[in-house]
Structure 1
Amino acid sequence: MKSLSTHEALIYAMVTTSAADHAMSAAEFSRIRSTLALLPCFEGFVGDVSAIAQHCVQTLSEDHGIDSILDAIDVALTPPLKETAYALAVDVAAADVSVKQEELVFLEMMEDRFEIDKLVVAAIERSARVRHRRAGL
Structure 2
Amino acid sequence: MPNSAHDALIHLMIVAASSDSEMTEKELERIQGLIGRLPVFETFDSSRLAVVANACADKLNGPGGLDQVIDDAIAALPHKLQDTAYAVAVDVTSVDLHLEQEELRFLEMLRDRLDLDRLTTAAIEVSARARHRRMPD
TM-score range, shorter chain: over 0.9
Q: Given residue 25 of structure 2, which amino acid in structure 1 is its aligned partner?
A: A
The residue aligned with 1:34 is 33
> 8 Å contact 1:28–1:93 — kept in the other structure?
yes
My pick for the range that moved more, 58-67 or 23-32, is 58-67
Q: Which runs of 4+ in 1 moved over 6 A?
A: none
The residue aligned with 1:13 is 12
TM-score by length of 1: 0.93
Q: Distance in 2 between matches of 1:115 and 1:5?
A: 19
State the aligned residue count: 136
> 8 Å contact 1:7–1:42 — kept in the other structure?
yes
Identity percentage over the alignment?
A: 42
Is the aligned partner of 1:75 residue 2:75?
A: yes
The residue aligned with 2:88 is 88
Give the aligned CA root-mean-square deviation in angstroms.
Answer: 1.3
* Structure 1 unaligned regions, length at least 5: none
Q: Distance in 1 between matches of 2:10 and 2:50?
A: 10
The residue aligned with 2:59 is 59
Report SS of the residue matched to 1:110: helix
TM-score by length of 2: 0.93
The residue aligned with 1:23 is 22
* Structure 2 unaligned regions, length at least 5: none
Q: Distance in 1 between matches of 2:29 and 2:50?
A: 11
The residue aligned with 1:103 is 103
